[in-house]
Structure formats: structure tokens, C-alpha cells
Amino acid sequence: MSKQNQWVVGVNAVASAVVNDAEHVHEVLIDGGSRNARLTEIEDNARRRGIEVRKVSAQALDGVAGGVRHQGVAARYAAAKTWEESELPALVEAAAGKALLLVLDGVQDPHNLGACLRSAAAAGATAVVIPKDKSATVNATVRKTSAGAADRLPVVAVTNLSRALRDLQKLGVWIYGLAGEAEASLYALDLRGNVALVLGGEADGLRRLTREHCDGLAKIPMPGDIESLNVSVAAGVTLFEAVRQRAG
């Protein structure tokens, strides 16, 4: 695992980080020339939590914001831990035959990724696997949406998703993909052992190569007149079906 820093900017984003995740906020920079009451509130909250606050120029904030509208405030924030692909076998082994992995094939909206991580953490998932390319990364938005799950749950970014699925199969993990056109129902699957649940991205669903590396495809039965669910909702339904089966 490795850890880096990132800058979070904007009144709402920084205020949320200070109040909800103070232990990961290293310092707050505030425009010394501003008289904005919200900035005063952020400063007071940060100081109460032992976070260093520095008054700087607007130009200094421009420099760390990288072109994003900062509204007079920025926070240096610890990025989420990065798990290496090589650590997956140990995570599966430690689960002692009950590994539950969520694999997201190209979820690009950070809010959706954060919501998926939150559901995965609530379901006691072993890890979440995402591709390094064509996927949202675990940034400040994801961490906020995940309600802290991004820091508690291993999120493994892999170079080649198809290869990662093959490697999981060699470890005794059954791979099930969710696809609306599948004939089998999610509720007919046996999800009690080592299982990886694979969901596609918002626009295209599962990619062809990802489908080909699944042991089976299944759908969430939807009697209503809706073609598909939001990926984060589908992830929650799927994960908690596994939880239900494992509780029996």
C-alpha cells in the first residue's frame, strides 16, 4: 500500500472534509483577504480539531487549485491508501473461503464509485477491484460519497482487468457478471464461497472481454417497466444477496 496527498478545494468540499474526516486533513489554506463568513466557520472548525490553518494569498490558492474554482479555501488531504494488484491473493486467502469481491468494469462517475464502495463496506466485502484506465479514481469526491469506506476497504486498481479475473479464478474465486440480457437470475446463484461480482460502467455495461472471463452471467429480476438500475443500486442489491445467502 502507498499513500499520497491531494488538494481539496471549494467551501463545501473543504468544510465536509474538516467536519467528517479531520484525521486525514493535514492543513487548511484560507484567503487572508476574504471576509467570507463560511471561511471563518471552516477556520474555527479546523482549529478546534487541531488542524493547522494558514492565511495565504489568492494567488497561492490559485496555484494549488490547478484551475478549479477554490472560493478562497483549500485543504491538503491524505489520499486514500493504494492497494497493489499483487496484494489480491493475500486478501483472498485471508478470507478463508468466504472472499466477497466487487469488480467494477469502468465506473466513471465518482459519485457512483463512492456509493459502490459504501455498499461494499457495509456488506463486509473483501475488496473492490477497478481498472486503472477508463475508471473513476479514489479522489476526494469518492471519499466523501463513500462515507469513509474508501479508507477502510481495500480498493485495488489493476492494469488488465481480464488478467486479474483469470488470476482470481486460479485462486478459486467464482466470477459472476451482471447483465440485463442474461437468462439466469441473480437469486439462483450460489454466492456463499469465494465470489467476485462484476458490474459494468454507466454507459456500456460489461465489456466483451470482461464477459468472456466470467464463469456466468446473471440479471437482477425487475418486474417493473425499467430497463436497468443505477450501477451503485445494482451493486447494493447484488452484494446484499450474497450477505443474505451467507447468513443462512
Indicate the domain borders of the chain: 5-78, 85-247
Q: What is the pLDDT of residue 2?
A: 46
Q: At what angle do helices 11-20 and 37-48 cross, to 10 degrees?
A: 20
Q: Same topology for domains 5-78 and 85-247, yes or no?
A: no
Compute the average pLDDT of residues 87-93: 97
CATH architecture of the domain 5-78 equals 2-Layer Sandwich (3.30)
Residue pLDDT, tens place only, 16-37: 788 877 888 999 999 999 999 9
Alpha carbon distance 31, 74 (integer Å) = 9
E strand or H helix at 28, and its extent? Answer: strand 25-31
Q: What single string gives the DSSP state of each residue in 139-174?
A: -HHHHHHTTTHHHHS-EEEES-HHHHHHHHHHTT-E
Q: What is the pLDDT of residue 13?
A: 78
Between the two ends of the chain, the Cα-to-Cα distance in Å is 34
Q: Considering only CA atoms, which of 143, 122, 186, 135 is closest in space to residue 161? A: 135
CATH architecture of the domain 85-247 equals 3-Layer(aba) Sandwich (3.40)
Q: Considering only CA atoms, which of 173, 187, 115 is closest in space to residue 147? A: 115
pTM beyond 0.85: the answer is no
